Chains A and B, each alone.
Chain A
């Protein structure tokens, strides 16, 4: 079990999986913000119009240009980034063995300890 007594801190270090996961999460959050700042303002500035003349609409590959540059193109970029990030940046970490049933066993032990306490406590009073 990985729980160590608190006076034994010299032999412990911050879990590298935790540090890697945290760094990766910040980058992903950054990506989300970039996607938001690209798609929404671009579409708002170019795709929200009144008084549109149906004859003069701009299209790129058959779809309205604001959809192409505001959604379709960044979508491809986001996919490429995702693939690079996942395959080449994310650290391969050892997630450890599964301690199946350990949480339950721990609680049962605590329960028995409490019951034992209660019994002895009852005898004393």
Chain B
């Protein structure tokens, strides 16, 4: 069957009918599963050391638990929304962008895993600030570490809450029960200040559902609940990808065909957000308001000297009031690739078209890179098309930066480090690295293939690229008459973000309970009060983040990037020095931590003055701030150590020496 030209149902109808109900059902099954796991985990909390169990799973993780919690925590919601949308928008160059994932598992787990686990056991550390404080025997250093973690992770937690709600919202979009529930929620909270200013009732509902679920199971079950749900989520993700891959390839007519079609693709023309667009004129005035939804196709007779037929897709919904015929500055994108246009026009009956309308005053702009004659085939080669940058999507310096970003900066993430402190023995570590390597190979490269195929199967999604994953899931499964399967596939991005949020939540609460309260305020607190406090703080931190996320900051993706690279710039060097260098002292570790943090921050602040936005950081020598930050962090740690006194012998002996074994 030729799926390219012949889709038996219109996409919006398909979405409403099979996909989203499946999404709702799978979401419910999913949540139920998560709570069962949390309840089971809670039983383990009766073991000897509550804190070590609640925040670290008693250092007993086996291969599957350790490998999958590590993999699932690192792949946040971005892996299944942001990444697919980038592949769709920029083409094959994303293979290079994600390329360093070929060594990410062995780097992030192998570089420090064994030694970090050993040092944490030797000192009895439960958290990352714990390790730093014990290894250098410095209270101030521990406090610095905990402040940085609380600062960065709290921002990140809010951002991830927002990401989770947005994903859930995309999945449930169009489900009747969901829409009406959102409506009643909106009425119920209309009197409550702050809450009623949420972005939309749908967003608020998703945030509540998502937030409450995550907070409850994390609070109740602790680390083991997080790990076991991660395992379940990890399995959902990989199964989703493995099912999608053959469907995507066969339905787009094979990879060879996809690549050849992509070689001929040219980027769409797009509307400027502020001004311009197109003018639509109805053939005759309508009796009632005409609503033109985002995603609607519009075609018109070709202009005389135009090579291809005119085909537009609305990117922002508009209305034409009753009795009028014209609306100006409609935001659209215009397809420019002949094959894509023919494909859409060829299945006109099944797509949502607005008929009886003519187009005039076309005021659209070209991509900054990708449209010029000598840039043809841009979806196939580097640097890839870009709507905004005339250097293209991935110039060489950025390609190098991303190699650092994933593998090296991934090693410096405290959420990953905590997991490295929790595996049972080296055998577990060795097998888990292999498992994660295979796992990532099955996820990341196939995603590139799947969403290159998406360019062929679903042209014109540039206006709403974040929903390409659910749209593909529905299209692929519906073409084989197995719409219910879409539920499993769309659960993957949701699983990804959930498994990240729960880990971050526990990381922050462990910082408060263990590092702030127990180790600084009240070292002699009883087991019972520590236990109560752990539940309480996890619950309060989660709830606070959820409330802030009602009106979340903008620039979601930028915040996540800033936090991720900032954490690595602050923590990688002190930890690596602490684990592997006998001479390093507390002053050196402090120098590394502050040096990395402040230089990284300085790049962003300079960006604010030079480029006009905090989130367009200054790129010294064309490199991302993470590279500059890491470089300065390692250098300043080294220099400060060298000019200050060596650490006490007892400390060095404790962590670097062992009693001689008898020959």
Contacts and interface: CB of A to CB of B under 8 A. Distances in A.
B377 A96 contact: no
B54 to A, nearest CB: 12
A28 B425 CA distance: 19
B657 A15 contact: yes
Nearest to A88: B430
A26 to B, nearest CB: 9
Contacts of A99: 121-124
Q: Is the interface of A mostly helix, strand, loop or mixed?
A: helix
Given A43-B99, A62-B258, A108-B524, A96 B656 contact: no
B176 interface: no
Nearest to B112: A25
B121 A82 contact: no
A2 B437 contact: no
A104 B217 CA distance: 29
Nearest to B444: A75
A90 B430 contact: yes
Given A12-B653, A15-B656, A104 B523 contact: yes
Interface residues of A, number: 75
Given A13-B657, A15-B657, A62-B256, A67 B95 contact: yes
Interface string B369-409: 00000111100111100000000000010011001000110
Interface in B422-465: 425-427, 429-431, 433-434, 437-438, 441, 445, 449
Given A61-B255, A95-B425, A98-B59, A40 B102 contact: no
Contacts of B259: 57, 59, 62-64
A18 B653 CA distance: 12
B350 interface: no
A32 to B, nearest CB: 5
Interface string A11-22: 111111110111
B528 to A, nearest CB: 15
Given A63-B92, A111-B523, 9 more contacts: A2-B659, A14-B658, A48-B382, A49-B381, A49-B382, A57-B377, A79-B441, A95-B426, A97-B121
26 contacts: A4-B657, A11-B660, A12-B653, A17-B118, A21-B115, A22-B580, A25-B111, A32-B103, A35-B99, A40-B403, A43-B382, A47-B96, A49-B382, A54-B264, A64-B259, A67-B92, A71-B99, A71-B102, A75-B441, A76-B441, A82-B433, A93-B114, A94-B425, A95-B425, A99-B123, A99-B124
Interface of A: 2-6, 11-18, 20-22, 24-25, 28-29, 31-32, 35-36, 39-40, 43-44, 47-54, 57, 59, 61-64, 66-67, 70-72, 74-76, 78-79, 82-83, 85-87, 90-104, 107-108, 111
